[in-house]
C-alpha cells in the first residue's frame, strides 16, 4: 500500500474532468501531476507495485497521456524522469489557442528512501555548488529531450520538474535554447536557488541593503574579471537566453526556492533607482561563478535565468513540506501573484 499522497484518487486534481488548455491553471496542474507521476513511478519500483497495485498510472492517464519512456539513473538505477505522450482517443479538436503538448518530459526531485537517498543527496549538493550540469541525469535528460524535439518539433514538447528535477529541467531547457536556438515550454516548480535566503528576512530595509551590496560586489567582481564589451555583447545570457521564458512556480515561504523572487524583484528595483546597469550585470553572475572563471573553470551560473513568467503562491503554509511540495500546485482556491519578468 502506498501513502495517501501517492494516490491520485485521494490527493490528485480529479476535479479537472474537462481540461481547458487555454487555462493556465489547468496547464500548471497537469504539468505538476505529470511530475508527481515520476515520483510515484519510483515509489512503485522500490515497493514492487505492479499491475493493479501500481499507483503511478492515474497521474498521467487521467489527462489522456501514456507513458512513452522511463529515464533511469545508471548509478542507483532509479527512475528520475519520464517521457509522456498525449494519447487522445480521437483527433484533437482543431481550434485557435493553446493546444495540448504531444510530449512532456518530467523530472522528479528527491525521494527520501534508502534506495535513492544517497544519489539524490549527492545531486542536491552538486546543485548547490553549480555542478549539476556534469551529472548523468542532466546528460540523459538532455539527450532524451533532443531526440523528442527532433522528432516532434519544439512547439509540441513541454519540460517540467520539481525541486532537484526542476533544476535539471531548467538546465535542459537552458541548454536547448543556448546551443540549439530552441525554446521549449518549461514548467519549473520550486527550483533550488544557490544563495543565502535573503528573501526570508522580514525587514525590507535590511533586505534591500543586503541585496544592493551583493549586486555592487558581484558587478564589481565581474568587471574586474575582465569581461570585455565584445564578450558582453555576445553573452548568451543576453543574446540567446533572454527570449526563452520558462514558467517559474514559487512559494514565498519556501526557503529553498524563494530567493528567485528576490532575484527578479531586485533587478526591477535596481532599474527604478537608476542602477539598472549594475543590476543587469549582477543578475548574470554569481560570486561563485566569477571565482570559478578566475580559476580557469566553467564560469556560467547555470541556475540563473534572464526571463520568467513568475507565479508566487502567497497562501499560508503549515510547514516546509507543504511550502516546498509539488501537491500545492494543483490545489484550487490558492492565492497567487503573477508577473512577467523579461530581460531587457
Q: Which runs of E-coded beta strand occur in the chain?
A: 65-72, 79-86, 103-107, 157-162, 185-189, 247-251, 308-313, 336-341
Mean per-residue pLDDT for 328-333?
93
Is the pLDDT assigned to residue 275 strictly greater than 50? Answer: yes
Residue 103 binned pLDDT confidence (cut-offs 50, 70, 90): very high
Give CA 254 to chain center in angstroms. Answer: 14
What pLDDT is stored for residue 292 in this prediction?
55
> Residue 276's closest CA among 289, 262, 286, 266?
266
Cell 520568467 locates to: 308
Integer angstrom CA distances of residue 148 from 143, 273, 322: 9, 45, 33
**Torsion sign across C-alpha atoms 154, 157, 161, 164:** negative
Integer angstrom CA distances of residue 51 from 7, 19, 100, 190: 15, 27, 28, 32
Mean pLDDT score of the chain, rounded to an integer?
87
Mean per-residue pLDDT for 71-83?
96
What pLDDT is stored for residue 228 in this prediction?
43
What pLDDT is stored for residue 229 in this prediction?
43
What pLDDT is stored for residue 299 in this prediction?
58
What pLDDT is stored for residue 230 in this prediction?
45
Mean per-residue pLDDT for 145-170?
96
What pLDDT is stored for residue 144 in this prediction?
97
Domain boundaries, the chain: 4-189
pTM, 2 dp: 0.90
Do strands 157-162 and 103-107 pair parallel, antiparallel, or not at all (unpaired)?
parallel
User: How far is Cα 287 from Cα 60, in angstroms, rounded to an integer?
Assistant: 41
Is the pLDDT assigned to residue 95 strictly greater than 60? Answer: no
Residue 43 binned pLDDT confidence (cut-offs 50, 70, 90): very high
Amino acid at each position: 500500500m502506498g501513502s495517501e499522497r501517492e494516490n491520485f484518487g485521494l490527493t490528485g486534481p480529479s476535479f479537472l474532468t474537462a481540461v481547458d488548455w487555454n487555462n493556465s491553471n489547468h496547464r500548471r496542474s497537469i504539468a505538476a501531476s505529470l511530475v508527481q507521476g515520476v515520483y510515484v513511478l519510483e515509489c512503485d519500483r522500490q515497493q514492487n507495485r505492479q499491475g493493479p497495485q501500481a499507483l503511478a498510472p492515474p497521474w498521467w492517464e487521467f489527462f489522456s497521456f501514456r507513458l512513452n519512456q522511463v529515464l533511469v539513473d545508471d548509478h542507483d538505477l532509479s527512475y528520475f524522469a519520464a517521457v509522456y505522450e498525449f494519447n487522445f482517443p480521437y483527433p484533437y479538436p482543431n481550434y485557435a489557442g493553446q493546444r495540448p503538448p504531444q510530449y512532456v518530459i518530467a523530472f522528479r526531485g528527491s525521494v527520501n528512501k534508502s534506495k535513492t537517498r544517497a544519489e539524490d543527496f549527492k545531486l542536491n549538493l552538486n546543485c548547490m555548488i553549480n555542478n549539476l550540469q556534469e551529472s548523468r541525469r542532466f546528460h540523459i535528460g538532455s539527450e532524451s529531450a533532443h531526440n523528442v524535439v527532433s522528432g516532434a518539433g519544439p512547439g509540441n514538447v513541454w519540460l517540467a520538474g520539481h525541486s532537484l528535477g526542476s533544476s535539471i529541467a531548467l538546465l535542459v531547457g537552458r541548454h536547448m535554447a543556448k546551443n540549439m536556438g530552441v525554446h521549449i515550454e518549461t514548467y519549473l516548480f520550486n527550483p533550488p536557488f544557490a544563495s543565502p535566503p535573503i528573501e526570508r528576512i522580514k525587514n525590507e530595509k535590511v533586505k534591500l541593503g543586503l541585496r544592493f551590496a551583493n549586486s555592487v560586489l558581484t558587478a564589481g567582481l565581474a568587471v574586474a574579471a575582465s569581461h570585455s564589451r565584445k564578450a558582453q555583447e555576445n553573452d548568451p545570457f543576453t543574446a540567446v537566453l533572454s527570449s526563452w521564458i520558462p514558467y517559474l512556480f514559487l512559494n514565498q515561504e519556501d526557503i529553498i526556492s524563494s530567493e528567485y523572487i528576490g532575484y527578479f524583484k531586485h533587478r526591477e528595483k535596481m532599474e527604478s533607482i537608476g542602477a539598472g546597469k549594475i543590476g543587469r550585470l549582477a543578475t548574470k553572475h554569481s560570486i561563485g561563478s566569477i571565482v570559478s572563471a578566475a580559476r580557469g573553470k566553467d564560469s556560467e551560473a547555470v541556475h540563473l535565468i534572464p526571463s520568467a513568467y513568475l507565479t508566487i503562491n502567497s497562501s499560508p503554509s503549515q510547514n516546509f513540506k507543504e511550502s516546498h511540495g509539488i501537491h500545492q500546485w494543483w490545489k484550487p482556491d490558492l492565492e497567487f501573484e503573477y508577473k512577467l519578468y523579461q530581460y531587457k
